[in-house]
Every structure is written in structure tokens, then in C-alpha cells.
Homo-oligomer: A and B are copies of this chain.
Amino acid sequence: MAVRAAVAGASGYAGGELLRLLLTHPGVEIGALSGNTNAGQRLGALQPHLLPLADRVLEPTTPEALAGHDVVFLALPHGQSAAVAEQLGDEVLVIDMGADFRLKNAADWEAFYGSPHAGTWPYGLPELPGGRAALEGSRRVAVPGCYPTAVSLALFPAYAAGLAGTEAVVVAASGTSGAGKSPKPHLLGSEVMGSMTPYGVGGGHRHTPEMIQNLSAAAGERVTVSFTPTLAPMPRGILATCSAKARPGVTAESVRAAYEKAFADEPFVHLLPEGQWPATASVYGSNAVQVQVAHDAAAGRIVAISAIDNLTKGTAGGAVQSMNIALGLDETTGLTTIGVAP
């Protein structure tokens, strides 16, 4: 019997991607769709690619609208999820696609978000060590950020195997949908086409402490991350280029073996054959993660690169994957590793 799911924030990019996935999920019935400024509008005007839902009308995001569902997905601006979640019963599975419940360290939250910490929920990245166990049966899930998903999956095997030094350097390119649907001058098509540009340089991006949290857990010691995000002229996708010093004795073979072991049984993470490199186009619209790793002997570094779709595995697909685990469904239900290309 299908569970009934509500989506709060159905007019944005995360909400739209979630609906795209839920429409073909055999175990989910789509319930209430809500928004704020767009309440009252037809979904056909807001998400014209979702034709089966074109005539659905957005409700305001209220406790009444979200009541009576088995699962509630929250795609809200940060800081708003706690108030909504409190009004939902403990037996309802609440999946927060925002940042509010990802960080364990309250000081990190306050330093990067400037508001009181709302708490910590089970973290929705099942591929991390112990990741699945934390989600099974849970009724609260914090979906990881898109960059931390790409970076953590690229680097955790090196840390878990003790191969990498504690100072990671990450440069990641993201498609523009990661910046949301709210119109701003620097996100205009005229500005982004033909342009690569960084932002949040020097440690200021809010996803940095989340990466540190994940990699430090894998390493068993404090890892620092120098993170530079860049905006790329494409609608979707993240390519994360991650590196760290190779510890003494590390070889190309030991690196490869660690990654093969880490992903051997993973349904969504695909370690590419040697010589082939990840491309965001190959995971467009898919929940797959393409990973490749190299040992640069001359520079003494391990270089690990991952490609994800920021809206699928990086947000909505990750949310569905976690929902499946929490509900005891097959983890891959409603998700694929088939991209739309070219």
C-alpha cells in the first residue's frame, strides 16, 4: 500500500525534482503540495515539465495542509523547518531537504548560519560508514547538502582506509540550479552562460562544516577542508575535485583497492574503470554517483573526483533514498542510475 507524501516547497527546484521522482515511485502517492508566495497557482505554470501534475494547485504551507500524510518533505529556506516539523506527529516521517538539522555541532551552525541551532537529525547519506543503520526506522531525516554529498562520497574511502592526510582541498563546480529559483542578477542566463566564477571563497561556504563533519568521522580525527565552490554554465550537476596528501606508503594500487572496497556493494555509487573520468552529463537526472580516483606520485596526493546531479542524488534523490530506508522499502525504489544524455 502506498504511503502518502506531502511536499512543502513544491514550486522550487528541489521540490520540483522531488515530485519528478515521486511521480514514478511505486510506493508513494503524492498528497498535498504547498508553497508560500506561489500558493494558489497551478503547478503547470510553475513546473511545466511535470505534466501529470499540471492541474494541481499549490496550498499555503500550513499544519492543516500537511496533516494526514505518512511522509512530509520539507524544501524550505533554512531556519523554517523546525517550526513546521514540531507540528507534525512523531510517527510522521519528516524529511528535511534544507540545512537545519545536518550539523551536530551547534557552534558550527551558529557560526555559519547566524541563528540558534535547531538540533540534529539522522543524516541521509547511507553510503557513509554506519549511514544506513542511522536511517532504518527513523522518522526524521536531514538530507545532506549537495556539495557535501559529492565531496564526502569522493573522499571518505581515502580517510576510512587511513590513506589521506588531514588537510583536504576541494574545488567543486555546480550547475546554477543549486543557487535556487529566486531571481537574482548574477544568476541570469545572460550572466552565467559562458562564465565560470567562484563564490564563498576562503572558507565561507555553509557546506564546509558539513564536509568536515563527514570526513572527520570517516578519518577518526579532525580533517580540515579548503573548499572553493564555482558556478558553472549548466543547469545541473556537481563535479567535485578533491585531494589530500597521500600518507607514506600509499600506492596507486592501495588507493584503488580502498575505493573498490568502499563502493563494492553500493547501488548508486559507481567507481569508473581506470582511465574513465566522471562527467556531470552522465548522471543528469539520475541518482548515480560517478567516482574516479588517482594517485599523483609526483605531487604526493590522492585526487578523487565525483560527479552527481545536484538536484537528484544531491537533494531529492538522496531524500527518496533515505525515505526508502526509513520506511523499510528497497533502497533503490523509484530511483535509477540511468542518466539523460546527451
List A residues at the B interface (Cβ < 8 Å).
13, 16, 20, 23-24, 42, 44-45, 47-52, 54, 167, 169, 171, 173, 175-177, 179, 181, 183-185, 187-199, 201-203, 208, 224-228, 230, 232-237, 239, 241, 243, 245, 270, 272-273, 276-286, 288, 290, 292, 294-301, 303, 305, 307, 336-342
**Cβ B51 vs Cβ A288 within 8 A:** yes
User: Once the chains are docked, how many angstroms separate the CA of A305 from the CA of B173?
Assistant: 14
B235 touches A193 (CB 8 A): yes
Q: How far is the CB of A192 from chain B (nearest CB, A)?
A: 4
Kindly identify which residue among B190, B201, B243 contacts A305, using a CB–CB cutoff of 8 Å. Answer: B201
- Please tell me if the beta carbons of A188 and B198 are within 8 angstroms of each other in the complex: no
Taking a contact as CB atoms under 8 Å apart, the answer to whether B296 and A239 are in contact is no
* A235 pairs with B190, CB closer than 8 A: yes
Report 10 cross-chain contacts, Cβ distance below 8 Å, ordered by A residue: A16-B341, A20-B340, A47-B341, A48-B282, A54-B270, A169-B301, A175-B190, A183-B184, A194-B237, A228-B303
Q: Are B202 and A296 in contact (CB under 8 A)?
A: yes
CB distance from A13 to the nearest CB of B (A): 6
The residues of B that contact A181 with a CB separation of less than 8 Å are 185, 188, 190, 342
- Residues of B within 8 Å of A336, CB to CB, are 23-24, 52
| Known contacts A194-B234, A277-B199, A281-B195; A20/B305 CB under 8 A | no
Verify A194–B338 contact, CB threshold 8 A. Answer: no
Known pairs A49-B286, A281-B49; A235 contacts B342 (CB<8 A):
yes
Measured CB to CB, the closest approach of chain B to A201, in angstroms, equals: 5
Nearest chain B residue, comparing its CB with the CB of A336: B24
Q: Could you say how many copies of this chain the assembly holds?
A: 4
A342 touches B13 (CB 8 A): yes
Most B CB contacts (10 A, CB to CB) among A192, A202, A288, A298 go to A202
Q: Evaluate contact between A197 and B294: CB separation under 8 angstroms.
A: no
Q: When the two chains form their complex, are residues B189 and A226 in contact, meaning their CB atoms are under 8 A apart?
A: no
A52 neighbours in B (Cβ, 8 Å): 336-338
- Could you tell me if B232 and A173 are in contact, using CB atoms closer than 8 angstroms? yes
One of B188, B196, B288 near A183 (C-beta < 8 A)? B188
In the complex, residue of chain B having the shortest beta-carbon distance to the beta carbon of A179? B190
With contacts A243-B226, A299-B225, A340-B284 taken as known, whether A197 is within 8 angstroms of B278 at the C-beta atoms is yes
| 4 interchain residue pairs of minimum CB distance | A202-B294, A49-B339, A195-B281, A189-B192
Out of B237, B292, B338, name the residue touching A195 (CB < 8 Å). Answer: B237
Contacts A49-B286, A177-B190, A181-B185 hold; do A201 and B20 have CB atoms under 8 A apart?
no
Query: Which of these, B195, B235, B236, B342, contacts A279 with CB under 8 Å?
Result: B195
Q: Select one of B50, B277, B286, B301 contacting A338, CB under 8 A.
A: B50
State whether B235 touches A232 (Cβ < 8 A): no
Chain B: CB-nearest residue to A270: B51
Which residue of the partner chain, among B177, B195, B288, B300, contacts A234 with CB atoms under 8 Å? B195
Bound: A179/B183 CA distance, A: 14
Q: How far is the CB of A299 from chain B (nearest CB, A)?
A: 4
Query: Do the beta carbons of B49 and A340 come within 8 Å of each other?
Result: yes
Contact of A280 among B169, B183, B194, B288 (CB under 8 A): B194
Q: Which residue of chain B is the closest to A277 with respect to CB atoms?
A: B198
Interface centre among A45, A188, A281 (most CB of B within 10 A): A188
